[in-house]
Each structure stands twice: as C-alpha cells, then as structure tokens.
C-alpha cells in the first residue's frame, strides 16, 4: 500500500505518539487543573509542557496563548464567530476550505458581508488583489497558508501587512503548513493562527489549537463554548484568563500527549530537513507526472512555492474512476473530488468534477513515487 492522502490526515503517525497516549492514560489519568491530587497534577504538567512546546514552535512568548481545540475547524470557528458580528465585513481568499467558508456563509445570512479575493489559476493570491478588496473597511481577513487542493503557499507576511494597514485583523489557516513550513507569528505579523495535530504535525486526530499572537488582545474574542474551567469556580461568569477563556470542559489529555510526542520527534528531525525531504519527493513526483500524456496538473509546479500536494485530472477519466483504479489495482491511496474546498476548485477551474489529489508525507519514499507514476501511466493509457 502507498499512502498519498496525508493532506487529509497523516499516516503513519510519528514514532512515540501511540505510546505517549497510552502512557498518559496509565499514569496521568486525572483531570488537569481540576484537583490537587497527584494524577491531576501529572495531567496538568503534561498539558502545560505541550502548550509550552507549541508556543516555541509557533513563535509566541506566552504559552497560555496556545488554546487547545478539537481540530483546526474548531479553532477557525472560535476565531471567526468570536470576532465577527452582523454588520461587519470579512475578506477571504478564493482558496479557502469549507472550515472557513461554511461558518462565514452562516454569518452572511445573519448580516455579515463576505468579500472573496479572486485567486489565480495556480492557486496564488496576489497582494494587489487583497489591496483592492480592502478599499473598504473590513474587520477580519482570513487566508489559508497553503491550499489543501494545490499546495500553493500564499505570501502571508505581505498579506498581513496590507490587512493591518487597512485596519483589519488577520487569521490564517495553517492546517497544511504547521509541521512542514517554519511558522513564527512575530515575523509573519498575523494575529491568530489555527492548526491541527493530525496532518503535518503527525499527531493524533481530535487535537488542534488556536494560537493568539503576543500583541493581540484576546478579550475581543467571544468564547465559542462556556463552562467549567477549573478556575474561578466561585463565579458563574466565564473567566477572561488565558487559556481558560476558550478551554471549557475536560481537555483531550491523550490527544495532547500524542501531539507533544509528535512535536518532540519533529523537532529532533528538524524543520529544515523535513522541508528538504518533502521538496525532493514533491519534485520527483512533478517531474514524473510531466512525462505522462493525458494528465492535467494544477498548481504552481514550483516546489519552493508550495507544499507537497499535487492535484491532477486524467483525460477521459472521471476522478472517481482514477481514484478507484489506483486503490484497487495498484494499492495507491489518494483522495478525489472537491476536498471540502469548492471555492478553491472554482478558482483553479476544476469545479464541479474536482481532482485526484496526491499528498505524499514524511514516510513516502522514492520507490513509492516511482510505483505511483507507473500506476498513473497505466491508467492514463486506457
């Protein structure tokens, strides 16, 4: 089996993840921050250590500004619904995932104005296009760091500068970049970042987070969920303290433990080495695909301007048939269709049929690439 669906969820997981999750349930099974006994203290220490590691990873000085959520979708909803009110205007790119577009469309029905900045056919969003869209005031700009359809990296630092100059806050979706592209909120200049643990961080499903930049006032964000936090228990009012303001209820302790283990492994591997390995595999895949007649490749075709995601179509073959043949006859696992990102497919011209998406990961080998190319060549020849 050749697994090329890492943009949906990475597999296999980083070494040590499963063991860390089991160990957390064995030895730190208390409720963190809720009690003073040893199991609760051990659980709280585990959560804090992971929070501290993530703060360093994303370039914030205060670990309490890393808010744990169930996934990136949860984090994006917390930021969007917590900041935007009827009458506000939100500017988004034409490459956004439904984790952004669906909450915004829901808010649109409540009186929020949505402006979509058009993307180019390769998935690029130009700073000039954002500048034009911000000719009128906006409360928030939301942008994907890299498209889950084409892998195209957007110029986030420049987009953030333009947005701030226009008086808008900036939220980025780093679901496809956290773990493969170095991210420092201070140098990027963004206000909020949503990430998930189960993709490029090689952690478990069910854990992600919202990172709040050091300069950003978190009290302007309304909590998505209110409830018990283990703190300020004398009050029935949601606390303002971070991270408790946004972390009501019992956290996913095994998930946090697994994410902590994956972060430790990735840090030992080194992001520079990760990026180099991914570019090498990505380049080999693109080079081989260029020699197969009948394929259409979407995206920039430049590994330095994208993450390792390749979308393609095969002439005279519906994408569902291509995916089925790759899986059943050649053992190559891909994802076909619209990838929960119809806006992106509209932008690159692949709507409504969608594409076949190849998303290699850290454990993808040159042999895997060669066998995938051979399989696609055989499918295209039919």
pLDDT at 382 over 90: no
The pLDDT of residue 359: 98
Distance (Å, rounded) from C-alpha 286 to C-alpha 226? 47
H or E segment to which residue 208 belongs: strand 208-212
Which domains are assigned to the chain? 2-11+270-381 (3.90.1150.10), 17-268 (3.40.640.10)
Percent share of the chain, pLDDT over 90: 94
**Quick check: 75 pLDDT over 90?**
yes
Show the tokens assigned to 197.
């643990």
pLDDT, residue 29, reads: 80
**CA 355 to mean position of chain CA atoms:** 20
Q: What is the pLDDT of residues 321-335, one digit of tens each?
A: 999 999 999 999 999
DSSP single-letter state for residue 162: H
Contact present, 152 and 299 (Cβ < 8 Å): yes
Instruction: For residue 317, give Cα distances in angstroms to 297, 345, 349.
Output: 14, 18, 17
Is residue 28 over pLDDT 90? no
Residue 34 has a pLDDT of: 83
Give mean pLDDT, residues 117-124. Answer: 97
Across the range 332-359, mean pLDDT stands at 98
User: Does 123 score more than 90 pLDDT?
Assistant: yes
Q: Is pLDDT at 33 greater than 90 in this prediction?
A: no
Tell me the C-alpha distance between 195 and 200, whole Å.
10
CA separation for the pair 349, 36 (Å, rounded): 57
For range 164-183, the mean pLDDT: 97
Dihedral, 160, 162, 167, 172 alpha carbons, nearest 10: -20
3-class DSSP string for 303-365? HHHECCCEEEEECCECHHHHHHHHHHHHCEECEEECCCCHHHHHHHCCCCCCEEEEECCCCCC
- Count other Cβ atoms within 10 Å, centred on residue 255: 24
Catalytic status, residue 340: yes
Secondary structure tally for the chain: helices H, strands E: 12, 13
pLDDT over 90 at 60, yes or no: yes
Q: What is the mean pLDDT of residues 338-352?
A: 98
Considering only CA atoms, which of 37, 72, 60 is closest in space to residue 242? 60
Q: What is the mean pLDDT of the chain?
A: 96
The least confident of 22-36, 100-114, 138-152, 312-326 is: 22-36
pLDDT at 53 over 90: yes
Please give the pLDDT value at position 230. 86
Catalytic member of 340, 371, 374, 378: 340
Higher pLDDT, 322 or 37: 322
* Average pLDDT rounded to a whole number, residues 149-169: 98
Q: Which residues contact 26 (CB under 8 A, 6 or more apart)?
A: none
Whether 160 shows a pLDDT value over 90: the answer reads: yes
Contact indicator for 311, 323 with CB cutoff of 8 Å: no
Pick from 30-44, 53-67, 176-190: least confident = 30-44
Give pLDDT tens digits for 218-246.
999 999 999 999 888 889 999 999 999 99
CB 202 within 8 A of CB 265: yes
Q: Please provide residue 295's backbone torsions phi and psi, each rounded to the nearest 5 degrees.
A: -100, 145
Q: What is the pLDDT of residue 231?
A: 86
How is the beta sheet containing 66-69 ordered, strand by strand?
66-69, 208-212, 192-196, 169-173, 140-144, 89-93, 113-117
């Amino acid at each position: 089996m050749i697994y090329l669906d890492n943009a949906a969820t990475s597999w296999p997981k980083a070494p040590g993840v499963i063991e860390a999750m089991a160990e957390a349930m064995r030895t730190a099974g208390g409720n963190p921050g809720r009690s003073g006994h040893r199991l609760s203290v051990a659980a709280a220490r585990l959560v804090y250590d992971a929070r501290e590691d993530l703060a360093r990873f994303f370039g914030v000085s205060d670990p309490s500004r890393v808010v744990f959520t169930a996934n990136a979708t949860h984090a994006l909803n917390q930021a969007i619904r917590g900041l935007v009110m009827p009458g506000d205007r939100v500017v988004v790119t034409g490459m956004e995932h439904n984790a952004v577009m669906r909450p915004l469309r829901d808010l649109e029905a409540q009186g929020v104005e949505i402006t979509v900045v058009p993307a180019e056919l390769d998935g690029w969003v130009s700073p000039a296009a954002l500048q034009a869209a911000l000719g009128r005031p906006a409360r928030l700009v939301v942008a994907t760091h890299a498209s889950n359809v084409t892998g195209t990296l957007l110029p986030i630092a420049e987009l953030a500068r333009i947005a701030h100059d226009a008086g808008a806050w900036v939220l980025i979706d780093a679901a496809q970049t956290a773990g493969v592209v170095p991210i420092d909120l201070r140098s990027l200049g963004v206000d909020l970042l949503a990430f998930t643990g189960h993709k490029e961080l090689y952690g478990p499903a069910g854990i992600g987070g919202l990172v709040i930049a050091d300069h950003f006032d978190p009290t302007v964000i309304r909590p998505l969920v209110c409830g018990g936090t283990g703190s300020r228990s004398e009050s029935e009012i949601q606390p303002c303290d971070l991270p408790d303001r946004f972390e009501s209820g019992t956290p996913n302790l095994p998930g946090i433990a697994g994410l902590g283990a994956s972060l430790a492994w990735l840090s030992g591997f080194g992001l520079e080495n990760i990026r180099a390995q991914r570019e090498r595999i990505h380049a080999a895949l693109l080079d081989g695909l260029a020699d197969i007649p009948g394929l259409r490749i979407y995206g920039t075709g430049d590994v330095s301007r994208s993450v390792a995601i390749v979308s393609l179509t095969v002439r005279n073959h519906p994408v569902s048939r291509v995916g089925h043949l790759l899986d059943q006859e050649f053992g190559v696992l891909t994802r076909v269709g619209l990838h929960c990102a119809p806006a992106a497919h509209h932008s690159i011209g692949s709507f409504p049929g969608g594409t076949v998406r190849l998303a290699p990961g850290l454990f993808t080998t040159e042999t895997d690439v060669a066998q995938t190319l051979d399989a696609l060549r055989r499918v295209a020849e039919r």
